[in-house]
Amino acid sequence: MNFKFLVLSVLALALAGTSMAQTKGTVDSKTLSEIRNSFNADASTQAIQNAITNSKSIRDIALNRNKVGATDHFFKYRVEVKGITNQKSSGRCWMFTSMNTIRPNVIKDLNLSSFDFSHNYNYFWDIFEKSNLFLENIIATADKDMDDREVVRYLSSPVDDGGVWNSFFNVAKKYGVIPAEVMPETTISNNTGQLNRIVKEKLRGEAYKIRQLAAKKGNAKKIEVAKVKALKDVYRILALSLGQPPVDFTWRYKDADGKISEAKKYTPQEFMALVAPEFAKDEMVMIMNDPTREYYKVYEIKNYRNVAEGINWTYLNLPNDEIKAFAMASIKNNQAMYASCDVGKQHNREAGIMDINTYDYASLFGVEFDMDKKARVLTRQSGSSHAMTLIGVDVDENEKPVKWEFENSWGTTSGNNGYLTFTDEWFSEYMFRVVINKKYLNEEAIKALDSKPIQLPVWDYMF
């Protein structure tokens, strides 16, 4: 063997060994041995391993038998609602939920057997307006680097189906609402993934061109022309996929007694004023339980809106007990509320029940899962993932809440015929926000609403 090669090989091995020995944070052989020996493969452990490795679902094995059948679907106080909606394969839960808070009053006021709004109509304008806001944000940040945190946030998702209550407030205020039959769902509106990808690609391409124009001074007019051209293209994509939204429409209906109304012509804004007069008074407010921040303060997430001239996502942060008391008052007064939560946590989909420890992973694996709500939020383990309509509460002999009910928008085959029951303990851990009429708040909460909002960044973890 070549002596020089042998010396170099030995030196390389020695240096490699030295490097590994000096590296901090590695799992050395002693630590690894300790970890391996901590796994006690006794008969009980072997049985659990056999069950898990041969199961199609860890969740099914973890189902806590003590929770099965422990919660019923009966409620002392419940809003009068009728009919379950279905958002299908789209992320429009916030829109369905917002409309579902208005729908019961329309059915009652017009004496209808059933009624629904056109979600397709408002979805069209939501994506269109989000496209405009995205391009405006790109123009406003054109002097920042491409890897700037704010620019990255905008480019990561130019548009999507998501939103919160203020998203519906903005688009309904500007464009109104219409009955479902005036602009029915399309195959694309019921399955929005591909349309979103196409619009995103178009917008990112236009954003890149606009940033190039902005790099040269004196191009303000050209930038505005480029933005309008991009919006024309987005409008075309949406109109071809969803249909063109009407400027006005003629509508008549048959009521629950079989009487056919006179046909009348409306603009969407006029129809909004007809069926939801309270909405126009700006009496609704979002209250939220965010244990990471100070209570009785108002917070606003920068640029979290869909319409450029609309309002941002703004909320009054309150303790859970306050939120529950206000929500009970609303339900007792037959007024449904927009609400959102971390729906995937401890959710028995087959039973339509959400309760803490529905799935006992701690007992199954023999390890602790002990984060509280604050820790889950800060570590991104938990956050609001779905909006539903809060319609029911059941109480004990002291009028203390024991469980609550959602009207969902996943169709009648989901949950308890389209509804979800959740315990009061689950409310405390996984409920985040409720939109409620100001008249149900106490004096302290109303006073807090007058404070100047604390602005949070576009990348805030509550988003």
SS (HEC) of 333-358:
CCCCEEEEECCCCCEECCCCEECCCC
Q: Which residue has the tokens 């236009």?
A: 206
Angle at 451 between CA 449 and CA 453, to 5 degrees: 95
- Joined tokens for residue 290: 């965010």
List the alpha helices (DSSP H) in 243-352: 268-275, 320-332
- Other beta carbons within 10 angstroms of residue 462's beta carbon come to 19
103 vs 235: CA distance, rounded Å: 28
Active site residues: 93, 386, 408
Residue 326 near residue 360 (C-beta atoms within 8 A): no
Q: Alpha carbon of 155 to those of 101, 158, 196, 302, 364: distances in Å?
A: 33, 6, 14, 16, 42
What's the DSSP call for residue 278? G
Angle at 123 between CA 155 and CA 211, to 5 degrees: 25
**Element at 461 (helix H, strand E):** none
174, exposed or middle or buried, with CB in 10 Å at 0-12, 13-18, 19+? middle
166 vs 68: CA distance, rounded Å: 37
